[in-house]
Amino acid sequence: MVEKLALGAMLFGTATDERRSFEILDRFVDAGGVWIDTANCYSFWEDASGFGGQSEAVLGRWLASRPGVRDRVRISTKVGCEPTEAGRFPETAEGLSAGVVKNGVEGSLRRLGTDHVELYWAHKPDPVTPLEETVAAFDELVSAGVVGRLGCSNYPVWQVERARQIARADGRVGYTAVQQHHTYLQPRPGTRPTVVHRFGAVSDEVIHYLEHHPDMALWSYTPLLSGRYTRADKPLPAEYDHPGTTNRLAVLDEVAAETGTNRNQVVLAWLTGGSTDVTPIVGVSRVEQLDDAFAGVSLDLTADQRRRLDEAA
């Protein structure tokens, strides 16, 4: 099941220095990991320049220093969120015009030191550029052989479907994956997790759409709430302060005790073992955290444990 885990490289080259990033990447590949997720804007908010590209650059140097490893990994990267003016995000986000998409993938390939990526994402909706233009620009990348599959992140469901309709009508390649925030706990009704974009959280509508479109895959970002399931020094945000959280955590602890694991591992097992195809993206700062994540996606829950987790809320 290790292929079901994507390594989140968001903080490589900024909060996580290059030496530690290389250690994590080496361990990931040695353990059988395949997918590495990044973006052209990672991590502009962590860098003094106010612009991104550091993560892709570190990945590129790692790939260059490990002959043959490029054939063992698949790279997922994104375009659309890089600010065009430092310190002014999201109002100056680059968007998804044809020119931005073309320049974005060229920059990503240059930093990564590769001639293709296996999955390319529209990072967030562009309120200005027509969907037709974005769909055509992404299709051209597939036709050119520099991109394998296409996905969209933080999109409302109607826009996902509309973009796919346009692609079908025009004979173009469309999105076959969505990347949203998805985890076991749910925020209080009427709120949304502070870690996501406006349409970034997985909802019942998203799950319903995926259930009826089996060609679509779900990638889940921040599935472990940045350590808040297990770290006492990182309390849950206010939007999780409600009875549903209490109920879910109680069952989570029960199942963790029964399996001899911890909350993080049970959450990852719950995500990857259900009826919806989910690839969790886990960002780590230490090799030990990566090993814990691998144990989670390899954990098999019983039907009774999954039922109790599902019904806890």
Predicted local confidence at residue 1, as pLDDT: 65
Of 42, 155, 175, 240, which residue is the catalytic one?
Answer: 42
Predicted local confidence at residue 231, as pLDDT: 92
Predicted local confidence at residue 194, as pLDDT: 80
Which residue type sits at 12? F
Q: What is the DSSP letter of 298?
A: T
Predicted local confidence at residue 77, as pLDDT: 98
Predicted local confidence at residue 195, as pLDDT: 72
Question: Coil, helix or strand for 65?
Answer: helix
Q: Which one is predicted more confidently, 16 or 2?
A: 16
Q: What percent of the chain has pLDDT over 70?
A: 99
- Active site (annotated) includes residue 184: no
114-137 residue pLDDT tens: 999 999 999 999 999 999 999 999
247-269 residue pLDDT tens: 999 999 999 999 999 999 999 99
* Confidence tier at 313 by pLDDT (50, 70, 90): low
**Average pLDDT score over the chain:** 96
* Residue pair 57/98 in contact by the 8 Å Cβ criterion: no
State the average pLDDT over residues 101-113.
98
Asked whether residue 71 carries a pLDDT value surpassing 90, the answer given is: yes
* Residue pair 2/297 in contact by the 8 Å Cβ criterion: yes
Closest CA to 184 of 124, 259, 272: 272
199-216 residue pLDDT tens: 999 999 999 999 999 999
Q: Which residue has the tokens 């806890």?
A: 312
Asked whether residue 2 carries a pLDDT value surpassing 90, the answer given is: no
74-89 residue pLDDT tens: 999 999 999 999 999 9
147-185 residue pLDDT tens: 999 999 999 999 999 999 999 999 999 999 999 999 999
Q: Which residue has the tokens 């520099």?
A: 146
Element holding 291 (H helix, E strand): helix 287-297
Question: Coil, helix or strand for 279?
Answer: strand
Q: How many whole angstroms separate alpha carbon 176 and alpha carbon 217?
A: 6
Element holding 164 (H helix, E strand): helix 157-170
Q: How many whole angstroms separate alpha carbon 206 and alpha carbon 49?
A: 36
Predicted local confidence at residue 311, as pLDDT: 94
State the average pLDDT over residues 37-47.
97
Burial annotation 8-46 (CB, 10 A radius, 16+ → b, else e): bbbbbbbebeeebbbebbebbbeeebbbbbbbbbbbbee
66 φ/ψ sector (left φ>0, alpha ψ -120 to 50, else beta): beta
Question: Coil, helix or strand for 201?
Answer: strand
Asked whether residue 9 carries a pLDDT value surpassing 70, the answer given is: yes
Tally Cβ neighbours within 10 Å of residue 208: 11
State the average pLDDT over residues 288-292.
95
* Residue pair 115/98 in contact by the 8 Å Cβ criterion: no
